[in-house]
Chain A
Amino acid sequence: MRFDVVVMGGGLAGYTCAITLLDSGLSCALMSIGQSALHFSSGSMDFLNALPNGERVYKPEAALEKLKELAPEHPYSLMGAEKTKAMALEAERLLNNWGILVSGSFTEGNHLRLSPMGKLLPTWLSQKDVFWVKGDEKPLWEWKKVSIVTVKDFLDFSPEIISAQLNDLGLQTKISSFTLPDLEILRENPSEFRSVNIARVLDKKENRPLVLAELKKATDCDALILPACLGLNHPSFISELSKELGIPVRIVPTLAPSMVGARINNHLHREFLARGGVSMPKDVATAYTFKDPDAETLTIEKIFTANHGDIPIRPRHVILATGSFFSKGLYADMGKIKEAVFELDLLDYPDQREEWTKYDFFAPQPYAGFGVKVDENMRTFKKGKLVTNLKAAGLVLGGFNPVLQGCGAGVALVTALVAAQSVLAEE
């Protein structure tokens, strides 16, 4: 099978790269072992929330030089501040173009989002209907009093904790809950009383008036806060509720599964298909060949996969966007860390296995920074040789700690765009 590009990995990085390349007229197939980390994410996208020394970042743009000193292998450092900024602005433009409507801006700096546990956390972009507030250390509230309305017995969202935290930050709050007859049947399986399942019920057309009536009871305030368990299939649902109720309505991500994250993934998938991209779900490379394995540089010729058996894929370009350990793009055996598909060269990491992890679960974990080594154009290497037609993007890369530095989605988006540019430059 011949494609201009084969993308491995159906997460934020893989889809971003694939859609960009399709828009430039290249044919593209995307294979993925399973669904991506977006399904667990807050649905807000972080660019850079902290430096490796722990110093908090308010304006990522202003912190890039210092980041380069402290983390020269960070993808932003490799690319340089100017390119990083250009790609960040491009990502903002593209997401909105694709219909993933986001608030926030790289030039203005981070805003604050609300975690399921009521903490205000910095982030770069939040979807329009998600609860966020301007401010760096202190939130700059536009509201005095908010109503937190939850679904009765829903356990993946804690209104009491959120309320207490918001009170500490100067907001008055009121808590209430509601249920609908249609939800009763869901309760028969308490373990499945989860955000996405609830959203399917609340999103139904016939339930809209009931939802509206329940929410009306809580509108004696400046804004309504709901757990993100409505608006899965109709992203305009929340803004329509706002209009009808006459006050702002905002959703807060719940514990996993994350409806706001899944929604982004589904949206990207549709944009990919709409451009004629060929989806290869549940597939994985099992073998590959190089054109001339003894040459100075390597070029992938054929890729064999689990589903396609003896029929190879012959891509001109390959994008590796298989994610980190969590998504199985990287794995650890007893003595080594490996990139799962091509065994690409990784950034240096300690020889001793004990140094890969910290005993304290909440301490910064060294392994989070391990990953594939690339140059500034996201080109990859194997045994020191350049692999000419293989670019890597997203969390499979090394040199940064997405949890500690709060930079996961930023790295995924920016490196995906650079990888795409680098493919196009070679065309």
Chain B
Amino acid sequence: MNPLLSTNFDACTKCTICTEYCPVSQVRPAFAGPKQSGPDGERQRLKDAAFYSEALKYCTNCKRCEVACPSNVHIGDEIALARKKFAPYNLSPRDAILSHTDFMGSMATMAAPIVNFMANLAPTKFFLDKFLGIPSWRSFPRYANKTFRAWFSDNAPDQSVYKDTVTLFHGCFVNYNNPSLGKDALKLLNALGVGVRLLAGERCCGVPLIASGFFQDALDNATTNKASIEKALENTERIVIPSSTCTMTLRDEYPEVLQIDNSSWRDRIDLLPRYFYRLLEEGRELKFKPMEKVVAYHTACHMEKLGWTAYSIDLLRLIPGIKLILLPSLCCGIAGTYGFKKENSPTAQKIGEPLFDLIKGSGCSLVVSECETCKMQIEMCTGLPCENPVTILADALI
């Protein structure tokens, strides 16, 4: 069906609840808000493309509007689809750099020490700020010396000793920036008696490309991933993912925004804590040593959309001595590459302020979130470490 002929917008009762919960409307009134940009705008755009507003690009695709809507209007999807259909082609080199994570990642890891050194030098930051529009005060994620994939093929313990196997979709952040999270996943899965395989060909899930308007590139990635996933599922039961955003993208953005049919495998995509949960339910065990820490759980926007926080919370509570604080679910503002763009940066910081205040006031020494960009933002803005629950669980493993 042509998604633009969808009449989902008609379910809108005009209650304005979505606008109340949109993190962008809260701090950037120039953005017309989800109701106006989503269902109201959709009705008008169907009549005439001239009603398309450039301001739609301020939407971070956080989906909090959809979660709040009592009438199940797919507001965020409608906005993304309208951008796909109407937005002029994005020619910004900055956006291309930020969103083509595979290309940038493979280049940068080849020369990681130089890149990490250069990226934080004043002249580089000046150049990034002035010519590319990436604000100079923002710290950049460091690149790893060796990608996770390279480590996996050269150094990972033998995975063929395990009877059960699962396929890991590691995501760009694990591959290029934080391979240790991938290693932590391996450690836990192996402890549970499960061996790990990687996809034969894994590309970036595509979410940064969608956010920056590179829809064709996103579609190309999704098509490759779909083929790899379908192949992998011939031999393994499930695909597991450390990142909430990659998970949400493969499950929901592929069918809703990119019109990729994932119906035969959508339910076989698991966020890692959900998969651990399955294994524990089967009677397998994880033994943890005590951890006397106050840990604050932050619900990333896409975790809120997935509705899967219960698994991580349940698992973390298995660690003896841990004091887990559940923070109110608020956006940290970064929204993937959004906060890295100079024009969005003040918005991103303002969105995050209430969350940072809550974190700082909570008395925690560690924040936990399944999202890698939340990690960057929270660490930069609160000075506290922020880790994926997988890392925290792996650290506590006996």
Contact between A33 and B21, CB atoms less than 8 A apart: no
Q: Looking at the assembled complex, report how far the CB atom of B362 sits from the nearest CB atom of chain A, in whole angstroms.
A: 10
A97 interfacial contact with B, CB 8 Å: no
Give the number of residues in A that approach B within 8 Å (Cβ atoms): 44
Smallest distance from the beta carbon of B36 to chain A beta carbons, Å?
A: 6
Task: Give 5 nearest A-B pairs by CB, closest first.
Answer: A34-B70, A307-B307, A273-B326, A282-B67, A186-B29
Verify A274–B326 contact, CB threshold 8 A.
yes
Given that A34-B70, A270-B328, A311-B277 are contacting pairs, would A282 and B19 also be in contact in the complex, using a CB cutoff of 8 Å? no
- Interfacial chain A residues near B326, Cβ < 8 Å: 273-274, 276-279
- Report which of B16, B29, B329 forms a contact with A279, defined as CB distance below 8 A: B329
5 contacting pairs across A/B (C-beta < 8 A): A40-B15, A270-B328, A280-B307, A310-B267, A311-B274
**Which residue of B has the minimal Cβ distance to A326?**
B70
Interface residues in B187-209 (C-beta closer than 8 Å to A): none
Tell me the complex Cα distance, A191–B40, Å.
10
Interface-central residue, B299, B305, B328, by most chain A CB under 10 Å: B328
Chain A residues positioned under 8 Å from B324 (CB to CB): 276
Which one, B97-105, B143-151, B226-234, B308-316, is touching chain A?
A: B308-316
Among candidates B30, B307, B354, residue contacting A282 with C-beta atoms closer than 8 Å: B307
Q: Which residue of A lies closest to B313 (CB)?
A: A278
Structural contact, A39 and B25, CB atoms closer than 8 A: no
Q: How far is the CA of A280 from the CA of B310 in the complex (A)?
A: 8
Cβ–Cβ contact A196 & B278, under 8 A: no
Interface centre among A31, A34, A196, A276 (most CB of B within 10 A): A34
B19 CB contacts on chain A under 8 angstroms: 192, 194, 196-197, 257
Interface pair A257/B17, CB less than 8 Å apart: yes
Across the interface, do A262 and B68 meet the contact criterion of CB distance under 8 Å?
no
A residues in contact with B20, CB < 8 Å: 35, 39, 196, 257, 262
CA distance A99 to B377 in the complex (A): 31
Contacts of B305 in A (CB 8 A): 282
CB neighbours of B35 from chain A (8 A): 191-192
User: Is A149 part of the contact surface with B, judged by Cβ < 8 Å?
Assistant: no
List of B residues within 8 angstroms of A279 by Cβ: 299, 309, 326, 329
- Determine the chain A residues whose CB is within 8 A of the CB of B253 once the complex forms: none
Q: Tell me, yes or no, whether B72 is within 8 Å of chain A by CB.
A: yes
Instruction: Give the residue name and chain of the A residue nearest to B31 (CB).
Output: A189
**A246-264 residues at the B interface, CB under 8 angstroms:** 256-257, 262
B274 contacts across to A, CB distance below 8 A: 311
When C-beta atoms are compared, the residue in chain B nearest to A200 turns out to be: B26
Would you give the 0/1 interface string for B36-60, flagging 1 where the beta carbon is closer than 8 Å to chain A? 1000100000000000000000000
Mark contacts of A313-357 with chain B using CB atoms, 8 A cut-off: 1 yes-contact digit, 0 otherwise.
000000000000001100000000000000000000000000000
What count of chain B residues pass the 8 Å CB interface test?
A: 45
In the complex, what residues of B have CB within 8 A of residue A281's CB? 67, 304, 307, 329
A327 cross-chain contacts in B, Cβ below 8 A: 70
Q: Is B239 positioned at the interface, with any CB of A under 8 Å from its CB?
A: no
Extra contacts, 13 of them, besides A29-B310, A34-B71, A307-B307 (Cβ < 8 A), are: A1-B311, A33-B72, A35-B68, A192-B16, A192-B25, A196-B16, A197-B25, A197-B29, A257-B16, A257-B17, A274-B326, A280-B309, A282-B67
Whether A39 lies near B17 (C-beta < 8 A) is: yes
A27 to B29, CA, bound (A): 40
Please determine whether A269 and B17 come into contact, CB atoms closer than 8 angstroms: no
Q: Which A residues touch B309, using CB under 8 A?
A: 278-280
| B327 interfacial by beta-carbon distance below 8 Å | yes
Checking B29, B67, B306, B329 against A189 with a beta-carbon cut-off of 8 angstroms, the contacting residue is B29
B283-313: CB near A (< 8 Å → 1, else 0) gives: 0000000000000000100001111111101
Task: Determine how close the nearest CB of chain B comes to the CB of A191; give it in whole angstroms.
Answer: 6
Q: How far is the CB of A153 from chain B (nearest CB, A)?
A: 14
- A15 and B233 alpha carbons, distance in the complex (Å): 41
Kindly state whether residue B352 has any CB partner on chain A within 8 Å: no
Q: Which residue of B lies closest to A233 (CB)?
A: B354
Q: How far is the CA of A76 from the CA of B228 in the complex (A)?
A: 61
State how many angstroms separate the Cβ of B14 from the closest Cβ of chain A. Answer: 9
CB of B339 within 8 Å of the partner chain: no
Of chain A, the residue at the smallest CB distance from B274 is A311
* In the bound complex, CA of A297 to CA of B222 (Å): 50
Return the contact of B70 from the options A189, A196, A233, A328 (Cβ within 8 A): A328
Q: Whole-angstrom distance between the alpha carbons of A143 and B297 in the complex?
A: 49
Min CB distance B298 to A, Å, is 12
CB distance from A285 to the nearest CB of B (A): 13
A85 proximal to B (CB < 8 A): no
A1 touches B70 (CB 8 A): no
Residues of chain A within 8 A (CB-CB) of B30 are: 185, 188
Q: What's the nearest-Cβ distance from chain B to residue A239, in Å?
A: 21
> A335–B16 Cα gap in the complex (Å)?
32
C-alpha spacing A233/B15, complex, angstroms = 20
Query: Which residues from 252 to 279 on chain B have a C-beta closer than 8 Å to any C-beta of chain A?
Result: 267, 274, 277-278
Contacts of B328 in A (CB 8 A): 269-270, 273
Q: Are B314 and A1 in contact (CB under 8 A)?
A: yes
Nearest Cβ distance between residue A319 and chain B, in whole angstroms? 17
Q: Is the pair B70, A35 in contact by a Cβ cutoff of 8 Å?
A: yes
Verify if A56 is at the interface (C-beta below 8 Å from B): no
CA distance A305 to B308 in the complex (A): 11
Q: Is B32 interfacial (CB-CB < 8 Å)?
A: yes
Q: A191-B40, A279-B309 are in contact. Are A34 and B17 (CB under 8 A)?
A: yes
A201 CB within 8 Å of chain B: yes
A1 partner residues in chain B, CB cutoff 8 A: 277, 310-311, 314
B286 to chain A, nearest CB (A): 17
Bound complex: CA of A185 vs CA of B307, how far in Å?
34
Residue from the list A34, A39, A192, A278 in contact with B32, Cβ < 8 A: A192
The answer to whether the Cβ of A214 comes within 8 Å of any Cβ in the partner chain is no
